[in-house]
């Protein structure tokens, strides 16, 4: 095993690298300047944490959020890594400790808030402590155009120069070319770093969409089926976050609201509680974002349609970072589409930017009305090909479609003949032949389209109009008070040159109860009590440290515990996220929950648990037992003590002479052949 995979296993407790990690780690270890773009939850932190352990000196990590920094430092310390942070949130004691570790040359990772860089002392400090790598997390914060812009990030470029063009590794999940260009310019002084653009798939996140139909009920049913899980519910308005949080609380969930209108302190409290508590739901606007690093968010619901396909992907990406199953549900309706369109039209951006924003919204709408695998459509937009995923609502149930050409033509005709001035309500009246006041006042009952759409009811026409908006055949026009106008895309259909399939399910379901998706089970039903018991133990331990639960173990580790039911420390060491330090600290405690006790194990042997040497040790011991009185059981009993056996297992002597040097001549004569054979086979 090479050094990096060994550290991956022993420090972090992971069996293998996630896609892209190894190449990035290798490049950083080779001293290259690196820009890595990986999806949220892809495992970016490891790409600078691991190299930090492989080199001399200190790796300085610049990260935008103090709370997250502190949690990352906690998590690293739990894994036995010397890490510390210098932020305004430090107590004097903590700062003192960091400086001491720096002075003693122990510290491997130093997290710093960007504000700190403004301080003149920073450069001097960094010069003094032998910084060998600058890791910039959330590197898109240098971009003035993004909503995460942090002015202090602009100082990093200069800092790098002052430190003699020190090696720099930057990480972000934001992939668009504009941001990438800006990162290059500001952090790398225009030189191009070795760039990694990793695949965007997050296969453990299931995707599903539902047209709104009693949306409050759709939400509460979804959440009720997932009681006790941590989740985020994104809403399009501040008010709605408060209303929905209240609604969820009244159904017995633990729920909070979050939006940018709250004062800093209340936001911080909400962020902290979410990060720390099990099973809390936060109803939030998109302001709830970067501050969340929680690996075990089990679901993300969009109670309203997101702004674009990019925002959608970023927001759902906050679910399931730990790799365990996570679920998403997006609710959308014609009103959402209108809202999003008018937000773009009414914005202050220049015309070409608005055009691009409409296109990004269209991509999302295409996803809502997709006829085959959602993920295929989604990743296709990001330039990735894939077969169907098996983990989206359309894969689990293919939608029924019907030829909607005729219905669409009727709707278009109603729009055109009424002068492209009206919304869905009035247009539907025209199609259904309802003589309302408005119809009469405008003489729309005299139109040839009047009453030609009676084969569908009002709800069904709404679904048809919504799908037409989804296919960008029609758009609301701000200048006409939101009246629907036809787009160029619709011409071929109107002229009879193209046909269009619409989804039957949404039409049929209009008025019927929304389909319910069974929540994914994290463990088998019979293992649920044990999972709860493990969670309780975890909370207890985390609380004692005043750290988030996942700092002890993420959900995924507990799920594996409940499923595999390890009996021994060896078994335990093979679980996800169990490195040497955590094995030692928590192994016995959790085994006690699982088995009501731990096997009696010699402390020397316990040190080897989970390592190859542990296995060898056991084999040596078995061989020794067999040969204790010689091959025929007739000689004077003889044995090596535990420490000697551990030494043999650890040093793996390859010859009789080498073995003799460890256990002595007499014992080598008795056990030598057997031991050497075992060592040769392992």
- Residues near Mg ion (CB under 5 A) are 44
* Residue positions counted in the chain: 682
Q: Could you say whether residue 230 binds ligand ADP (CB under 6 A)?
A: no
- Using the rule CB under 6 A, which residue among 11, 17, 58, 424 binds ligand ADP? 17
The partner in contact with residue 43, picked from Mg ion, ligand ADP, Zn ion, none with C-beta cut-offs of 5 to 8 angstroms by kind, is ligand ADP
> Measured from the CB of residue 521, what is the shortest distance to Mg ion in angstroms?
28
Q: Backbone phi, then psi, for 302, in 5-degree steps?
A: -100, 110
Which two three-digit tokens encode residue 402? 């019907």
Within 225-294, residue ranges assigned H as helices are: 238-250, 264-276
Q: Could you say whether residue 559 binds Zn ion (CB under 5 A)?
A: no
Dist CA 272 CA 380 (whole Å): 36
Q: Could you say whether residue 43 binds ligand ADP (CB under 6 A)?
A: yes
> Measured from the CB of residue 575, what is the shortest distance to ligand ADP in angstroms?
11
- Using the rule CB under 6 A, which residue among 4, 7, 20, 21 binds ligand ADP? 21
β-strand partners of 112 = 62, 86
CA angle 634, 640, 642 (to 5 degrees): 140
Dist CA 233 CA 388 (whole Å): 27
| Cα dihedral across residues 117, 122, 123, 126: positive or negative | negative
Q: How many CA atoms lie within 13 A of 456 on its CB side?
A: 27
Residue closest to 434 by CA, chosen among 445, 423, 442, 443:
445
- Using the rule CB under 6 A, which residue among 45, 63, 330, 460 binds ligand ADP? 45
Q: Could you say whether residue 14 binds ligand ADP (CB under 6 A)?
A: yes
Dist CA 232 CA 230 (whole Å): 7
Q: Could you say whether residue 560 binds ligand ADP (CB under 6 A)?
A: no
The partner in contact with residue 427, picked from Mg ion, ligand ADP, Zn ion, none with C-beta cut-offs of 5 to 8 angstroms by kind, is none
Q: Could you say whether residue 554 binds ligand ADP (CB under 6 A)?
A: yes
Which two three-digit tokens encode residue 520? 């994914």
Q: How many residues bind ligand ADP (CB under 6 A)?
A: 18
Binding mask 259-298 for ligand ADP (x = CB under 6 A): ----------------------------------x-x---
Q: Could you say whether residue 42 binds ligand ADP (CB under 6 A)?
A: yes
Residue pair 233/319 in contact by the 8 Å Cβ criterion: no
CA angle 505, 507, 510 (to 5 degrees): 105
At a CB cut-off of 8 Å and minimum separation 6, what does 347 contact? 354, 357
Among the candidate windows 38-46, 91-99, 231-239, 641-649, which touches ligand ADP by CB under 6 A?
38-46
Within 166-263, residue ranges assigned H as helices are: 177-187, 215-224, 238-250
- Using the rule CB under 6 A, which residue among 321, 375, 537, 606 binds ligand ADP? 321
Q: How many CA atoms lie within 13 A of 425 on its CB side?
A: 5
Q: Could you say whether residue 326 binds ligand ADP (CB under 6 A)?
A: no
Residue closest to 13 by CA, chosen among 552, 582, 564, 555:
582
Dist CA 338 CA 342 (whole Å): 6
Q: Could you say whether residue 205 binds Zn ion (CB under 5 A)?
A: no
The partner in contact with residue 373, picked from Zn ion, ligand ADP, Mg ion, none with C-beta cut-offs of 5 to 8 angstroms by kind, is Zn ion
> Measured from the CB of residue 391, what is the shortest distance to Zn ion in angstroms?
6
Cα–Cα distances (Å) from 465 to 31, 505, 506, 514, 611, in that order, read: 56, 15, 12, 19, 62
Between the two ends of the chain, the Cα-to-Cα distance in Å is: 13
> What is the bridge-based pairing of β-strands 483-486 and 474-477?
antiparallel
Q: Could you say whether residue 373 binds Zn ion (CB under 5 A)?
A: yes
- Using the rule CB under 5 A, which residue among 65, 389, 583, 620 binds Zn ion? 389
- Using the rule CB under 6 A, which residue among 82, 304, 322, 505 binds ligand ADP? 322
Q: Could you say whether residue 395 binds Zn ion (CB under 5 A)?
A: yes
User: Looking at beta carbons only, is 42 or 306 nearer to ligand ADP?
Assistant: 42
Q: Could you say whether residue 41 binds ligand ADP (CB under 6 A)?
A: yes
Among the candidate windows 304-312, 337-345, 370-378, 657-665, which touches Zn ion by CB under 5 A?
370-378
User: Looking at beta carbons only, is 371 or 512 nearer to Zn ion?
Assistant: 371
CA angle 384, 388, 389 (to 5 degrees): 90
> Measured from the CB of residue 196, what is the shortest distance to Mg ion in angstroms?
15
Among the candidate windows 43-51, 347-355, 366-374, 637-645, which touches ligand ADP by CB under 6 A?
43-51
User: Looking at beta carbons only, is 18 or 77 nearer to ligand ADP?
Assistant: 18
> Measured from the CB of residue 17, what is the shortest distance to ligand ADP in angstroms?
5
Binding site for Zn ion (CB under 5 A): 373, 375, 389, 392, 395
Binding site for ligand ADP (CB under 6 A): 14, 17-18, 21, 38, 40-46, 293, 295, 321-323, 554
């Amino acid at each position: 095993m090479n050094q990096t995979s060994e550290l991956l296993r022993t420090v972090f407790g992971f069996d293998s690298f996630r896609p892209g990690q190894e190449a990035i780690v290798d490049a950083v270890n080779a001293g290259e300047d690196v820009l890595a773009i990986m999806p949220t939850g892809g495992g970016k932190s490891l790409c600078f944490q691991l190299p930090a352990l492989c080199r001399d000196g200190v790796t300085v990590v610049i990260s935008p959020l103090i709370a997250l920094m502190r949690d990352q430092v906690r998590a690293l310390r739990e894994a036995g890594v010397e890490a510390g942070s210098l932020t305004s949130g430090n107590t004097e004691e903590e700062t003192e400790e960091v400086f001491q570790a720096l002075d003693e040359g122990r510290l491997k990772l130093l997290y710093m808030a960007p504000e700190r860089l403004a301080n003149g002392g920073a450069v001097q400090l960094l010069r003094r402590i032998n910084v060998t790598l600058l890791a910039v997390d959330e590197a898109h914060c240098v971009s003035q155009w993004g909503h995460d812009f942090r002015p202090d990030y602009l100082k990093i470029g200069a800092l790098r120069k002052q430190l003699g063009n020190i090696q720099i590794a930057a990480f972000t999940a934001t992939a668009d070319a504009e941001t990438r260009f800006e990162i290059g310019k500001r952090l790398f002084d225009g030189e191009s770093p070795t760039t990694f653009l990793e695949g965007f798939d997050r296969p453990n996140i299931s995707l599903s969409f539902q047209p709104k139909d009693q949306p409050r009920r759709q939400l509460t049913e979804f959440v009720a089926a997932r009681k006790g899980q941590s989740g985020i519910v994104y809403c399009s308005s501040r008010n709605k976050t408060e209303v929905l949080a209240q609604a969820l609380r009244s159904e017995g969930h633990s729920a909070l609201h979050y939006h940018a209108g709250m004062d800093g302190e209340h936001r911080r409290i909400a962020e902290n509680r979410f990060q720390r508590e099990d099973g809390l739901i936060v109803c939030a606007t998109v302001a709830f974002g970067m501050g969340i690093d929680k690996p075990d968010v089990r679901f993300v619901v969009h109670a309203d349609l997101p702004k674009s396909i990019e925002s959608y992907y970023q927001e759902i990406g906050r679910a399931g970072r730990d790799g365990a199953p996570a679920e998403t549900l997006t609710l959308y309706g014609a009103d959402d589409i209108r809202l999003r369109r008018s937000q773009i039209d009414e914005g202050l951006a220049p015309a070409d930017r608005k055009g691009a924003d409409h296109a990004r919204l269209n991509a999302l709408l295409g996803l809502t009305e997709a006829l085959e695998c959602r993920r295929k459509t989604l990743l296709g937009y990001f330039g990735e090909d894939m077969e169907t995923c098996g983990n989206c609502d359309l894969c689990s149930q293919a939608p029924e479609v019907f030829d909607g050409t005729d219905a669409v033509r009727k709707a278009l005709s109603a729009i055109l003949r009424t002068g492209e001035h009206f919304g869905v309500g009035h247009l539907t009246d025209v199609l259904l032949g309802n003589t309302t006041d408005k119809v009469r006042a405008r003489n729309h009952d005299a139109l040839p389209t009047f009453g030609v759409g009676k084969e569908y009811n009002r709800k069904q026409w709404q679904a048809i109009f919504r799908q037409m908006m989804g296919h960008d055949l029609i758009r609301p026009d701000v200048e006409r008070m939101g009246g629907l106008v036809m787009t160029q895309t619709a011409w071929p259909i109107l002229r009879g040159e193209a046909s269009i399939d619409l989804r039957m399910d949404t039409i049929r379901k209009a008025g019927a109860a929304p389909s319910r998706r069974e929540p994914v089970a994290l463990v088998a039903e019979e293992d649920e009590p044990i999972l709860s018991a493990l969670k309780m133990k975890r909370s207890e331990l985390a609380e004692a440290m005043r750290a988030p639960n996942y700092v002890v173990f993420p959900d995924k580790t507990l799920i594996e515990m409940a499923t595999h039911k390890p009996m021994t420390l060896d078994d335990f060491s093979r679980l996800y996220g169990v490195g040497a330090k955590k094995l030692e600290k928590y192994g016995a405690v959790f085994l006690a929950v699982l088995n009501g006790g731990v096997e009696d194990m010699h402390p020397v042997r316990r040190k080897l648990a989970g390592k190859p040497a542990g296995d060898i040790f056991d084999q040596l011991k078995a061989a020794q037992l067999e040969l204790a009185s010689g091959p025929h059981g007739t000689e004077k009993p003889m044995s090596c003590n535990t420490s000697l056996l551990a030494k043999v297992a650890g040093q793996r002597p390859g010859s009789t002479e080498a073995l003799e040097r460890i256990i002595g001549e007499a014992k080598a004569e008795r056990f030598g052949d057997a031991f050497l054979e075992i060592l040769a086979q392992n």
